[in-house]
Amino acid sequence: MAVSKELRGRKVDISEPPPAVQRQASRRPTTRSATETFLIGYPSSSISGSQLPTNRQAFQYFLHLQSLPENTGNPKHQDLANETVEAIIPFWQMARIKTMTKYNAAQHFMTLHKKHRDLARNKGRTGDPGGKRSAFVLELDSLFDIGASDAIQEIERNRLLSREKKDKDIRFYQDQKTERKAHMSGHDKIFESRSQQQAERAARLQQREEQDMNLSQNFYNFSAATQRRTAADVSTWAEPTDSEGNAEDMDYQQPRPGCSHHQDTVTLTFPRRVMECVDICSTADRLGLSDNQVTALVSATLKAGGADLDKFVISTSTTKRNKMLTR
């Protein structure tokens, strides 16, 4: 019914706004916030990543399917849940983990969908009575678990997998349900602990190489300085004479490499298994010397004394073993 009023003797019809106003109202732009869903976020046209999908990823893909033109109006949520499950199952196949039936997986999603629908009815509330919203958010970021009840037993029964791969698959499944730190690279599982161990091992090897290099450089500098000192000592030799000042006939002895000719010599006896000496191993531990450093230092000492290293049982592995025994 048209509504009118008397205005200065004229009747003005205000039942409908002018056509220009109608067109302006119909052109109202759709903002990004209009596509955001309560607690879920924005729709996503794909599911990606190197982990098993979460409940949030499943929900965001479901919202994308719901927003497609062919699904506008009153789509069947069960059909969209089936399509969502079909997009998620390949991730589980890549992980070699058995899944429940498609129907049960879709029902699992519909249970999650019902929880969200119940919470969305009271989205205008500022509080969170009972902590239901925060609990649902935590559930959204956890695994969309569609694994079969006998998934782990199925992995154990797989005859095509080695023991190592079976253990990796089981650990990966358990990780995805808890901390979610592991990733997939094809069928391979990459665990954070393994990558961290590899990085620490590489750092230790680099540090050991640097220590060995410093030890070698110090030993080279010591040898060079000793040779220079020996050359200086030889150049200042005076020919030996007797009590009357006459030169004596003496057989010339070649100076020992690395040792001064004028130094007094002391005869030492080393065991053939020199690295089994408790004093050497305990001193090396106290000074924080590596196995390579101890081996190089003992070898250099024996060589400086004119010993034949081939006659001694000395190696890095021997040093390491005996250091462990003396601790």
DSSP letter string, 146-191 = -B-TTHHHHHHH-TTS-HHHHHHHHHHHHHHTTT---EEETTEEE-
Distance CA 51, CA 79 (A): 25
The full set of domain ranges for the chain reads: 33-120+133-190, 267-327
Taking only Cα atoms into account, the Rg of the chain, rounded to an integer number of angstroms, comes to 42
Under the banding of pLDDT at 50, 70 and 90, the label for residue 128 is confident
Share of the chain above pLDDT 90, in %: 36
CA dihedral 257, 258, 264, 267 (to 10 degrees): -70
Residue 169's nearest CA partner among 184, 159, 179 is 184
pLDDT score recorded for residue 28: 46
Q: Per-residue pLDDT for 250 more than 60?
A: no
Note the pLDDT tens digit of each residue in 287-305. Answer: 878 888 888 888 888 888 7
pLDDT category of residue 27 using cuts at 50, 70 and 90? very low
| pTM for the model | 0.50
Contact yes or no for 100/154 (Cβ under 8 A): no
Region for 306 from its dihedrals, namely left if φ exceeds 0, alpha if ψ lies in -120 to 50, beta otherwise? left
pLDDT band (50, 70, 90) for residue 26: very low
| 184 vs 254: CA distance, rounded Å | 68
Does the pLDDT at position 262 exceed 80? no
Q: What is the pLDDT of residues 41-92, one digit of tens each?
A: 999 999 999 999 999 999 999 999 999 988 877 678 999 999 999 999 999 9
Mean predicted lDDT score pLDDT of the chain: 78
pLDDT at 205: 81
Paired tokens of 94: 């890549």
User: What six digits make up the tokens of 28?
Assistant: 């109202």
In the numeric block, the tokens 């969209």 are attached to: 80
Residue 130: count other Cβ atoms within 10 Å of its Cβ. Answer: 8
How many Å apart are CA 169 and CA 175, to the nearest integer? 10
For 5, the enclosing helix (H) or strand (E) is strand 4-7
Decide if pLDDT at 271 tops 80.
yes
d(CA 232, CA 93): 78
- 140 has a pLDDT exceeding 90: yes
Taking each helix axis as running N to C, give the angle between helix 132-140 and helix 55-67, from 0 to 180 degrees, rounded to the nearest 10: 90
250-256 contacts at long range (C-beta below 8 A, 24 or more positions apart): 255/230, 256/306
